[in-house]
Amino acid sequence: MSEGPLVLGIETSCDETGVGLVRGNTLLADAVASSVDSHVRYGGVVPEVAARAHLEAMVPTMHRALDLAGVRLSDVDALAVTAGPGLAGALLVGTAAAKSYALALDRPLYGVNHLAAHVAVDTLQHGDLPTPLVVLLVSGGHTSLLLVDDIACRVRTLGATLDDAAGEAFDKVARLLGLPYPGGPVIDRIAAGGDPRAVAFPRGMTGPRDSAYDFSFSGLKTAVARWVEAAERAGTAIPIADVAASFQEAVADVLTRKAMRACREYDVADLLIGGGVAANSRLRALATQRCGEAGIRLRIPRPALCTDNGAMVAALGARLLAAGVPPSALDFATDPGMPVEQLTVGRY
């Protein structure tokens, strides 16, 4: 086990209640309670339902994490909690709990950025992050290309989505195809039996006049909808596996193409892919292939660390603590729209 302060992380930005315990780069516990089943009938996350689920799950998830790590709450040296971005009500549940624990224990607390935590979590699997580092961040609500000089102090946005994020596009296309929510894992599974070349769906924002590093998946979603509508009007059976595979290929192609370009143009030899969509098997395979051809070192956390969890928050907290970054004041406010460049909030 590595040495260093024991950091506890709490994550409640969306529909997972996560509590993680980290010491240095060593993951001691990662307990997650998901409310995704409560949102399935609505076809998406309902903020009030998510917030209530966090309230019910917080204390049991905390106890489970402590038991898994074999530590007591009093052993914790510092705490970190997601302060944004995320759903307003969900964020408030997590930060209220974290502030209460920090006050009771008299320990420093870091209100941290959820997106930066998706980068920091890779230290728990692959060790310290190389610098500089290009990061392709793909989650349900965010798709960004980042240049990371130091995850504890400097992150720069190269590009971001102009409309639908990749994860949102997966959910919307799944709905078009009559598939259940959440759409990402379902499409990934069904696409395995389809032909990714069956339908030539467009690659958004890849023209010569388009932004090099920004993303747009709204047009792709619309193209899938029109293709399905045309097939229905013609009375043709929709080859769901082929459509899913072709859509997934278009997303993975655009994501990896722009990430490769960023690595070349900024002369960076390391690429990290993080966020929930990083668990997608085709994205991982295509990134591995293209990085291998370009001589780029690829880092992708295992799927369990890609989705929202407390371990990633604890990992970022550990990096901030090690860098000597001042903790947050206990009266800090959450920020549902927190930009990725802002790594912490409300410093002392």
Map residue 243 onto helix, strand or coil. Answer: helix
Nearest to residue 129, comparing CAs of 117, 144, 143?
117
CA distance linking residue 135 with residue 271, whole number of Å: 6
Given this model, what pLDDT does residue 348 score?
A: 64
Given this model, what pLDDT does residue 1 score?
A: 41
CA distance linking residue 121 with residue 111, whole number of Å: 16
Contact 86, 114 (CB under 8 A): yes
Given this model, what pLDDT does residue 141 score?
A: 84
Residues forming CATH 3.30.420.40 domain(s) in the chain: 6-121+309-345, 130-304
Nearest to residue 8, comparing CAs of 310, 347, 324, 309?
310
Name residue 278's amino acid.
A
CA distance linking residue 312 with residue 18, whole number of Å: 9
CATH superfamily of 130-304: ATPase, nucleotide binding domain (3.30.420.40)
CA distance linking residue 218 with residue 223, whole number of Å: 9
Given this model, what pLDDT does residue 2 score?
A: 56
CA distance linking residue 271 with residue 301, whole number of Å: 12
Dihedral sign for Cα atoms in the order 320, 326, 332, 335 = negative
Q: Which residues pair with 155 in a beta bridge?
A: 148
CA distance linking residue 22 with residue 79, whole number of Å: 10
CA distance linking residue 283 with residue 287, whole number of Å: 6
Fold for 6-121+309-345, please state it. Answer: Nucleotidyltransferase; domain 5 (3.30.420)
Q: Which residues pair with 6 in a beta bridge?
A: 23
Q: Where are the alpha helices (DSSP H) in the chain?
A: 36-39, 47-69, 88-105, 114-120, 123-126, 166-176, 183-191, 218-233, 240-265, 281-294, 303-306, 310-322
Q: How does pLDDT run along the chain (348 residues), one tens digit per residue?
A: 457 899 999 999 999 999 999 999 999 999 999 988 888 888 888 889 999 999 999 999 999 999 999 999 999 999 999 999 999 999 999 999 999 999 999 999 999 999 999 999 999 999 999 999 999 999 878 999 999 999 999 999 999 999 999 999 999 999 999 999 999 999 999 999 999 999 999 999 999 999 999 999 999 999 999 999 999 999 999 999 999 999 999 999 999 999 999 999 999 999 999 999 999 999 999 999 999 999 999 999 999 999 999 999 999 999 999 999 999 999 999 999 999 999 999 876
* Strands ordered across the beta sheet of 26-34: 26-34, 16-23, 6-11, 78-84, 109-113, 344-345
